[in-house]
Amino acid sequence: MTLTPSTSTPAVDETHRVQLSDLKMPTRLLLGPGPSNADPAVLSAVSMEPIGHLDPAYLALMDEVTTLMRYVWQTENQITFPVSGTGSAAMEATLANVVEPGDGVLVGVKGYFGHRLVDMAGRYGAKVSTITKPWGEVFSLAELRAALETHRPAVLALVHAETSTGARQPLEGVGDLCREFDCLLLVDTVTSMGGVPVFIDKWGVDLAYSCGQKGLSCLPGISPFTMSSRAIEKLTGRKTQVANWYLDVSLLLKYWGSERTYHHTAPVNLTYALREALRLIAEEGLEARWQRHQTHAEYLWSELAKLGLTCHVDPAYRLPTLTTVKIPAGVDGKAVTRKLLNDYNIEIGGGLGELAGKVWRIGLMGYNSRKENVDTLLGALKEVL
């Protein structure tokens, strides 16, 4: 039997044809765990006309983006490019490329995103082991050494800036440790890149990823990714194919490497946005940017203390980009976040996982890390409380 085109088409079902007015969205001050407000220069870049993703002008822009990503991450890694997708896609790219079925992956779990790494690594067939810490604490070098001795993994995965807890995992010395135990170091820099010092090469990080919508003040949907020569060796020595076609670095390199041939249609406008976001960081200078984040976080912490509010994380490990504040006894945390949003157009986050109902999460990231934002939030919070 042959299929021939029909001469009559069925009637269109009009049920979902709703008539709407032009899109209007509220303007919010995004002081939660992310997304943060994008820089106005980023918003104007994203609204430019797209050009072809193989246009010579776009290819030149790709080079600018990779160079600036290397600056912000402090790395010479040849393979440094943005993944088309959110931070979780870039997270998946790190694991998908270096993990083969049966490989040992040790994950330091001290918050929500450590659990996500465990889940993902397992899906790529890793033999996953974990070490854990109460949410809000971090691992010492001695604890990491002991765990590497016990588990002898092929990959150690750590979240540098745990957005669910507000704690910063120190990374000095961890790369040396991983070399001693012949394993790769994989680090989540989603809430640190662009706001907190990150030294990919000096710290011996082999695989890292981030996102657009936090410290970079870009937008969700485009996410930095990098891998070292040690990680490339692991990739090229694989016995099995990378199970994820979309995130297979050897395929992506046909586009991001010298060939510049089609792999998937790049999110052209998001790449414009990322280029602008990174350019602004270079204009400000990394050290000035990190200092700005630290200064405004310290101001926030001292003003919170004046309101009688306390932070969840020890100051020695407290992130300047994300602060977890203990919800005082007798206060309905959700009612406060709801009122801040509805009456003041300010978004802050509630707790996740173990910290649900116990903390609020306040983000001061990138463009949003400014004194007037702290004053606006605290003024509103004072009234609401």
Ligand X SMILES: Cc1ncc(COP(=O)(O)O)c(C=O)c1O
Q: Which residues bind ligand X (CB under 6 A)?
A: 33-34, 86-88, 91, 113, 159, 163, 188, 190-191, 211, 220
Cα torsion for 51, 54, 55, 61, to the nearest 10°?
80
> Reduced to 3 states, what is the DSSP secondary structure of residue 72?
helix
Distance from the first to the final alpha carbon of the chain: 73
CB 209 to ligand X: min, Å = 8
User: Which has the closest alpha carbon to 97: 246, 267, 271?
Assistant: 246
CB 24 to ligand X: min, Å = 25
Rounded distance, CA 131 to CA 274, Å? 35
Nearer to ligand X, 35 or 204 (CB): 35
In this structure, the strands spanning 161-162 and 359-363 are unpaired
CB 257 to ligand X: min, Å = 25
CB 192 to ligand X: min, Å = 9
CB 110 to ligand X: min, Å = 11
Q: How crowded is residue 293: how many other Cβ atoms within 10 Å of its Cβ? A: 24
Nearer to ligand X, 117 or 380 (CB): 117
Nearer to ligand X, 159 or 174 (CB): 159
CB crowding 217-234: b at 16 or more within 10 Å, else e: bbbbbbbbbbbbebbbeb
Rounded distance, CA 234 to CA 199, Å? 22
Nearer to ligand X, 80 or 191 (CB): 191
CB 215 to ligand X: min, Å = 11
Nearer to ligand X, 161 or 380 (CB): 161
Query: How many Cα atoms within 13 Å fall on the side-chain side of residue 280?
Result: 20
Rounded distance, CA 139 to CA 227, Å? 23
CB 97 to ligand X: min, Å = 17
Return the structure tokens found at 150: 């016990």
Query: How many Cα atoms within 13 Å fall on the side-chain side of residue 118?
Result: 14
Cα distances (Å, whole numbers) of residue 228 to 103, 175, 186, 207, 274: 19, 12, 10, 7, 22
**Closest residue to ligand X: CB criterion:** 87
User: Which has the closest alpha carbon to 212: 296, 160, 276?
Assistant: 276
Nearer to ligand X, 34 or 82 (CB): 34
CB 86 to ligand X: min, Å = 3
Nearer to ligand X, 110 or 263 (CB): 110
Nearer to ligand X, 348 or 378 (CB): 348
